[in-house]
Amino acid sequence: MVRTVMVTGATSGIGEATARAFAGEGANLIITGRRWDRLKALKKELEADHGVEVLALAFDIRDRKQCESAVDSISGDLATVDVLVNNAGLAAGLDHFEEGEVNDWEMMIDTNVKGLLYITRRIVPRMVAAGGGHVVNIGSIAGTQPYEKGAVYCASKHAVHALSQGMRIDLLGKGVKVTEIRPGMVETEFSLVRFHGDERRAGGVYDGVTPLTGEDVAEAVLWAIMQPPHVNIDEIVLTPLAQANAYYTFRQKEQPDAK
């Protein structure tokens, strides 16, 4: 099993579930996010429950200097990162392009694309120097299937898809694996963030559907990591049974009360 795993965006959802999954396998962890209180609580829990070492780093992944400073502060055995899970990401707004908020666009691009680049650029040279490692990028089915009112979010995930493929090519022969995980509907804080805290709109996204959970995606990440050294899982697409792709979702209507 890997010794050290770094998970970005570990304060909730897929990132938190992934940290828990790896801790359960005995891996030491570096967990990052902006919410220090959540990171601190997760660190305490995982160390107590699994006896692993957990380093919590609170910073804004959109800020290049903060990213570099945080990564450069990692020392000791944790400095050799075996697995990097680029999970930090978000959607902001759901509007037709001509009505989109530029601030939302910048937030998505800065987080989903630039933040991923900042962290990965700092970690991958360490993997190359160590002779191996594994980068897992959490993408989305939106990375190949743009949908109405999601142009910029989809563009950011298209970038993750292209970057994953490009990294795979550039890292050939250097012992570093690259995997992209592309989920469909996952019930996390994703929609709550997209709708700027509007719980009614966020909850409506999953009406009539049993969505994926963060744990479902974490299991896919863990499976990809657990493959033999000669096997690279290039990408995994996973969706709820009720969702065929970004365009077609079957929603179960509530049955009327019996008279």
CB 80 within 8 A of CB 133: no
Structure letter (DSSP) for residue 111: I
The pLDDT score that the predictor gives to residue 1 is: 59
pLDDT in tens, 141-159: 999 999 999 999 999 999 9
Q: Is 90 exceeded by the pLDDT of residue 213?
A: yes
Q: Is 70 exceeded by the pLDDT of residue 202?
A: no
pLDDT in tens, 37-49: 999 999 999 999 9
- % residues pLDDT > 70 (the chain): 95
Instruction: Please list, residue by residue across 168-196, b when 16 or more beta carbons sit within 10 angstroms of its beta carbon and e when fewer do.
Output: beebeeeebbbbbbbbbbbbbebbbbbbe
Of the pLDDT bands very low, low, confident and very high (cuts 50, 70, 90), residue 258 is: very low
pLDDT in tens, 58-69: 999 999 999 999
CB 118 within 8 A of CB 67: yes
Stretch 107-133: mean pLDDT, rounded?
97
- % residues pLDDT > 90 (the chain): 88
**Distance of alpha carbon 159 from alpha carbon 157, whole angstroms:** 5
Lowest mean pLDDT segment, chosen from 15-24, 118-127, 155-164, 249-258:
249-258
Torsion of CA 58, 163, 87, 223, to 10 degrees: -130
The pLDDT score that the predictor gives to residue 188 is: 80
Work out the mean pLDDT of the chain and round it to a whole number: 93
The pLDDT score that the predictor gives to residue 180 is: 98
Stretch 88-115: mean pLDDT, rounded?
95
Stretch 83-88: mean pLDDT, rounded?
98
pLDDT in tens, 155-174: 999 999 999 999 999 999 99
Q: Is 70 exceeded by the pLDDT of residue 256?
A: no
Structure letter (DSSP) for residue 112: I
Residues classed as catalytic: 153
**Distance of alpha carbon 159 from alpha carbon 181, whole angstroms:** 14
Structure letter (DSSP) for residue 243: B
